[in-house]
Amino acid sequence: MTDSNKNKYDAIIVGGGHNGLVCAAYLAKAGKKVIVLEANSQVGGGAVTSELCYGKRISYCAHFLNQLNTHVLKELNLAAHGLKFAARDLSTVSLDRDGDHLILTKNSAKGGGITKEEAVAYKNFMMLIHDYAKTLGFLMDSPPIDIFNPDWDDKLAALKLGWKLRVGLGAEKMSELLRMIGMNIRDVLNDEFENNKLKGALSFDAVLGTHTGPYSPGNFLNFLYRYAAGDSGALNIPEGGMGAVSNAIASSATASGAEVRTDARVRTINVENCAVSGVTLENGEIINSSMVISNANTKTTVFDLVGTRHFEADFVLRMTNYRMRGAAAKLHIALHALPDFKGLSKEDLANRLLIAPDQEDVERAFNHVKYGETSPSPMMEISIPSLVDKSLADNGHVLSATVQYAPYALKGGWTEEAKAAFLETCIDRIAEYAPDIREQIEHAEILTPKDLEDRFGMVGGNWHHGELTLDQMLMLRPVPEASRYALPLDGLYICGAGAHPGGGVMGAAGRNAAKAILKGEVK
Amino acid sequence: MTTEIDRDHWRSAVKFSPFYNKLKDHDMVNMWHRWAGYTVPTVLENTTFEYFAIRNTASLFDLTPMSKYRIWGPEALDYMNRLLPRDMTKLRVGRVAYTAWCDDEGMVIDDGTVFRVAEDEYLLCAQERQMEILKRNAIGFDIEFEEISDEIAALSFQGPVSCKILKNMGFKDIETMKMFDLRYFDFPGGEVMISRSGYTGDLGYELWMKNEQAEPMWDAIFDAGKDYNIRPIGGNALEIARIEAGLIAANVDFSPANETVRPGHAKSPFELGLDWIVKLDKGVVFNGRRALLKEKQQGSRFRFVRLDVEGNKTACNAYLFDKENGKNIGYVSSAVWAPSAKKNIALGFVDMPHGKVGDIIWAEIYYKKELKWNRRWAKCTVMDGPAWNPPRKTKTPPDDF
């Protein structure tokens, strides 16, 4: 047991997920002495590249980079720190059994029985969505407005929001936004479109990563969210997998003077006389600092790392009730060779592939998860990144898919048999579109929501570390008492997805947290 | 402890205390009211007689409807120390403490007494029901808790001769109990707990027993005290005594924070004159700590005042002013003619910085004379403490009669 008192840090960041690294980079840039403590042997949290089998590597959790905050990209100079894109602005291909696939870009829809009129309707709809996203998107780039004690920045942001809504959008579109914002995606899509394939694909984007189906209230907002973050939601694939993003951020942070330690699992965040005093590592080492910034899940931070007794009871109850239910599993397949998807060329396959034929199917798949069952006919978002990034597979290919729906708490538990059975279900599902896939499989595995919790600390298997619903967003995230990145314990902050603006590989929460912390010091 | 719910419980929403039949024997005027589901006497014979039993002889008040909880387990001390603003490490086994407890905003939820009955076991006695509060506080603590409101019969035995009568009953060394001591004594049917505590500002005890011991205890007290003019009392007499003793009541003087809907209508312990129970520097987190620290630095909104009101008209529901026909600065929450202090007194709240000890403020009193409303201005002096606080309240051993 060593007590490294002499190594006094301005701040300790618990967890080297991408947000922790972003926060460290900004604090280090501002001249703070910062150390990031990562439990695993590589940084990145949910943005990592791991070996799938010999000679094949894959983005182990997140697999598209569609929401990376543009300020983070520029301000941390990630390109100079090695971030390259293997593919940019990919299309979405919604698979069809008979080969009549629907291909969607930011503003065009073709195939899948889309009529000319419907293609125009899609274009107009997406323009509206992008207008909305532009109106609201700026809210992600700063700490949420403090409605109790607004300072000038808060007042300015509130004015800006009002201006953007009323003047920017105009009365008609503002009224339309207010009508739509609390709606479910099914009703929105039924207002706009006839084509079931189109509605299936768009509804999938609204429920991705959530514990909702197309009929569930409020998930239109989740759909909007995709386009409000990053570069208008453009689908990119980083070279070297998602781990490359984390490595670039870590490199930027280190270059600015931050210290990043891996294999340094924090056992407790220490409290002395009602204030944070540092952390104790799994190996007993104590590191002192009067500021601890947790990039771990907020519930883990409160309940496990600090302990509820160091917080007041109403806050503890609120945190207890903070919803974080995940319903997505992650499928990884190592392939000897590319399977044959009917009607799709190799170039087509490099895009984002969807299995979401109809929004009623999506809803039916969701029904099971409510009762602790897996979907017998699940929905999927598939990526074959080795088509654009040779570094991921020495030979053959790797396929990664987000599968919905799988419950966190499966009836009877996630036994090896249950996992194997669901893996088979998923492979069968892909085989409906690529019948020869089984012959090409070298290795296949599935991460259930429980596995996502165990491996990445995503409590409940929810990759946003807190469901993104209106009551858990902005100044309500994670709970009103902690919306400005400071938990109600002196010296303790959060910088992860559990804070505004939430998850996805954005880095916005880390940047906002650093902003809030630095501003708090100036005050 | 769980109670078998009677099959026909839905036919009536009235609970009857185990002392009900005994109280009924003394009932001459049929004045009852509802308290926490129980029917309890407002007056049994005459409020004045009953009040003077508290101050001059001995009074018996049925406390059974109070909310009672048992909290135990390895982390019971830590739990209580987080729940309550007092420093609970200072409360030894065998001692009782008056306390209030707050929400995260530092607003008072309720007040009551906490009994440390063992190293890792406490009893909590409150006016309002607290299960939900105890539950949210238990998250992350290795403790258990249960409600025992209906399982424990309780009597408040108050008055200058109360000790003597308990001594006559054979409760050995009861006279050595100091204020806020608690002890267990043998009694047929099992040990009973007696604490030297009360709500009257006078010498007195509270007796805690099993329901089946209630009637035998009642009889034993009357047997031992037949020469001492014991009198069972109703709520009205107690109300006079508690206002005279300057003690606050939930839902009379303050609105419990967890039931208060309108912003700004709850009150902090500082605003209730309970500064002395808030130990901001006790070194551990307790509910309301951050808000109370802030309040301490930035100042409170209100000040709790005990007023000596000129004239003989009680200042019930009166507004308070800085001068006659002046600016409204507060209101009266409780008021009574205090018979032993021989003063017209009131409890109330004024805006800061008004209401320092010795300050003069004015009450606009409305009163009825033969059904006609009249109005009068009364000069009030802010008192330094309660109107009634006799040495015998804390004197140990108490006087022997």
Query: What ipTM was assigned to the predicted interfaces of this complex?
Result: 0.94
**pLDDT exceeds cutoff 80 at A4:** no
Shortest Cα–Cα distance, B281 to chain A (Å)? 8
Q: State yes or no: pLDDT of A31 exceeds 80.
A: yes
Q: How far is A85 from A68, CA to CA, in rounded Å?
A: 12
> CA nearest A481 in B: which residue?
B104
| Alpha carbon distances (Å) from B233 to A147, B149, B216, B219 | 52, 21, 18, 16
Residue B214: name the closest of B21, B26, B70 by CA: B21
Could you report the per-residue pLDDT of B119-143, keeping only the tens digit for each? 999 999 999 999 999 999 999 999 9
For residue range A47-103, list pLDDT tens digits in order. Answer: 999 999 999 999 999 999 999 999 999 999 999 999 999 999 999 999 999 999 999
| Cβ–Cβ below 8 Å for B285 and A315 | no
CB contact under 8 A, B140 and A312: no
What's the rounded Cα separation, in Å, for the pair B19 and B213?
10
Least confident of A137-141, B282-286, B360-364: A137-141
In this predicted structure, the answer to whether residue A5 has a pLDDT above a threshold of 70 is no
CB contact under 8 A, B82 and A488: no
Give the pLDDT of residue B318: 97
Is the pLDDT reported for residue A503 higher than 90? no
Residue B380 has pLDDT above 50, yes or no: yes
A314 in B contact zone (CB under 8 Å) = yes
A273 touches chain B (CB under 8 A): yes
Query: Can you tell me the mean pLDDT for A313-332?
Result: 97
- Cβ-defined contact of A320 to B139 (cutoff 8 Å): yes
User: According to the model, what pLDDT value does residue B2 have?
Assistant: 55
The sign one gets for the Cα dihedral A506, A510, A515, A519 is positive
The residues with which B124 forms a beta bridge, in sequence order, are B69, B114
**For residue A233, which amino acid is it?**
G
Judged by CB atoms within 8 Å, which residues 122-181 of B form the interface with A?
Answer: 133, 136-137, 139-141
- Least CA distance to A318: which residue of chain B? B136
Domains (range + CATH), chain B:
9-66+150-233 (3.30.1360.120), 257-382 (3.30.1360.120)
Instruction: Note whether A317 contacts B78, CB cutoff 8 Å.
Output: no
**Cβ atoms of residues B27 and B50 within 8 Å:** no
Nearest residue, CB atoms, B284 vs list A274, A315, A320: A274
Taking residues B309-338, what's their average pLDDT?
A: 97
| A149 contact B CB<8A | no
DSSP letter for each residue of B137-152: HTTT-S-EEEE-TTTE
B289 touches chain A (CB under 8 A): yes
Residue A7 has pLDDT above 80, yes or no: no
8 Å CB contact of A313 and B284: no
Backbone angles phi, psi at A101, to 5 degrees: -75, 150
Of the candidates B123, B121, B124, B94, the residue with the CA atom closest to the CA atom of residue B110: B124
State whether A309 and B133 contact (CB < 8 Å): no
**Could you tell me if A481 lies within 8 Å of chain B, comparing CB atoms?**
yes
Residue A491 to chain B, least CA–CA distance (Å): 13
Q: A303–B140: do the CB atoms touch at under 8 Å?
A: yes
Residue A281 has pLDDT above 90, yes or no: yes
B9 band by pLDDT with thresholds 50, 70 and 90: confident
CA distance A453 to chain B (A): 20
pLDDT-derived band at A1, boundaries 50, 70, 90: very low
Q: B140 and A307: CB-CB below 8 Å? A: yes
Cβ–Cβ below 8 Å for A312 and B289: yes
Instruction: Give yes or no for B104 touching A (CB within 8 A).
Output: yes
Contacts of B286 in chain A (CB under 8 A): 312
Helix crossing, A18-29 with A242-255: angle to 10°? 20
Quick one: CA torsion of A208, A212, A215, A221, rounded to 10 degrees? Answer: -60
Burial class (CB in 10 A: 0-12, 13-18, 19+), B296: middle
Neighbour-count burial of A497, counting CB atoms closer than 10 A to its CB (0-12 exposed, 13-18 middle, 19+ buried): buried
Q: Helix or strand or coil: residue A520?
A: helix
Q: Is B229 left (phi over 0), alpha (psi -120 to 50) or beta?
A: left
CB contact under 8 A, B139 and A310: no
CB contact (8 A) between residue B289 and residue A274: yes
Average pLDDT over residues A262-279: 97
Cβ-Cβ contacts under 8 Å, B83 against chain A: 313
Residue B326 touches partner A, C-beta closer than 8 Å: no
CA atoms of A253 and B205, how far apart (whole Å)? 67
DSSP B153: E
CB pairs < 8 Å spanning A and B? 51
| Interchain CB distance below 8 Å, A309 and B141 | yes
pLDDT computed for residue A61 by the predictor? 95
- Residues sharing a CB contact under 8 Å with residue B107, sequence separation 6 or more, in sequence order: B257, B260, B266, B267, B268, B288, B291
Nearest CA in chain A to B103: A314
d(CA A78, CA A239): 13
Could you tell me which chain A residue has the CA closest to the CA of B287? A312
Q: Find chain A residues with C-beta within 8 A of B143's C-beta.
A: none
What number is the average pLDDT over the span B173-190? 98
- Is the pLDDT at B47 greater than 50? The verdict is yes
Q: What is the mean pLDDT of chain B?
A: 97
Residues of A in Cβ contact (< 8 Å) with B82:
309, 312-313
C-alpha distance from B102 to closest chain A C-alpha (Å): 10
Backbone phi, psi, residue B220, to 5°: -65, -40
Q: What does the pLDDT read at residue B3?
A: 60
Q: Measured between CB atoms, does A322 come within 8 Å of chain B?
A: no
Q: Hey, are the CB atoms on B139 and A308 less than 8 Å from each other? A: yes
pTM: 0.94
Residue B348: pLDDT over 50? yes
pLDDT (0 to 100) of residue B401: 83
Predicted confidence at residue A2, as pLDDT, reads 47
A6 has a pLDDT exceeding 80? no
Confidence of residue A523 (pLDDT cuts 50, 70, 90): very low
Domains of chain A by residue range: 11-53+63-86+239-322+478-522, 118-228, 324-456
- Can you tell me the mean pLDDT for A409-436? 97
From chain A, the residues in CB contact with B140 under 8 A are 303, 307-309, 316
Whether the CB of A320 is below 8 Å from some CB of chain B: the reply is yes
For the structural domain made of A11-53+63-86+239-322+478-522, what CATH number should be given?
Answer: 3.50.50.60
Handedness of CA B49, B51, B56, B58 (dihedral sign): positive
In this prediction, residue A522 has a pLDDT band, given cuts at 50, 70 and 90, of low
CB–CB of A414/A448 below 8 Å? yes
